[in-house]
Amino acid sequence: MTDAKKVNFNKKLHLFHDLWSPKVIAQMNDYQFKLVKVNGDFVWHDHADTDETFIVLNGTLFIEFNDNTMELHAGEMTVVPKGIQHRPYANEECHILLVEPTGVVNTGEKENELTAENDIWI
C-alpha cells in the first residue's frame, strides 16, 4: 500500500480559523508544508538556521524587509533566506502555504504572544 495522501488546500483551510497559527498538512523528508491564515501585523523576526518559503494561496501578503516591502498575490511565492529580518503583514485575510524544516518556530528567535504551538497537524 502506498502512503501518499492527497491534500486539498481549500478543504484544509475550512478546518481552522485562528490567525498566525501554522497547521501542518504534509511532510516531505524533514520538511513540512503548513497552511497559515494571516491578517494584520506580525512581528519582526528571522530564522538563523534556515530559509523559509511563502506561497500565497488566497489574498495578498506583504513582507517587510529592512530595505523594501514585497507584495505577494495568489500564485506567487518567495524564499526568505536564513538570517534575514522580515515582518509579514496583511491588510485583509490572506492564506499562505509555508514550506520549512520541521521544528521552525513562527516567530523565529523571539518568543512572544504570537508564538504558535509547533507541529499541529490538521
Among 15, 40, 79, 91, binds its own copies (CB under 8 A): 79
Tell whether residue 93 is a contact of its own copies (CB under 8 A): no
Alpha-carbon distances, residue 57 vs 3, 36, 38, 120 (angstroms): 25, 10, 12, 20
Alpha-carbon distances, residue 79 vs 34, 36, 53, 66, 98 (angstroms): 15, 16, 4, 16, 10
* 32 burial level (CB within 10 Å; 0-12, 13-18, 19+): buried
Among 16, 19, 24, 31, binds its own copies (CB under 8 A): 31
Tell whether residue 103 is a contact of its own copies (CB under 8 A): no
**d(Cα 2, Cα 6) in Å, to the nearest integer?**
11
**d(Cα 23, Cα 8) in Å, to the nearest integer?**
13
CB of 47 to its own copies, least distance (A): 11
Tell whether residue 62 is a contact of its own copies (CB under 8 A): no
Q: Which stretch binds its own copies (CB under 8 A): 14-22, 36-44, 60-68, 110-118?
A: 60-68
Tell whether residue 101 is a contact of its own copies (CB under 8 A): yes
**d(Cα 51, Cα 97) in Å, to the nearest integer?**
14
Among 17, 48, 67, 112, binds its own copies (CB under 8 A): 67
**Binding footprint of its own copies on the chain (CB under 8 A):** 1-10, 26-29, 31, 33, 50-53, 57, 63, 65-68, 70-72, 75-82, 84, 86, 99-101
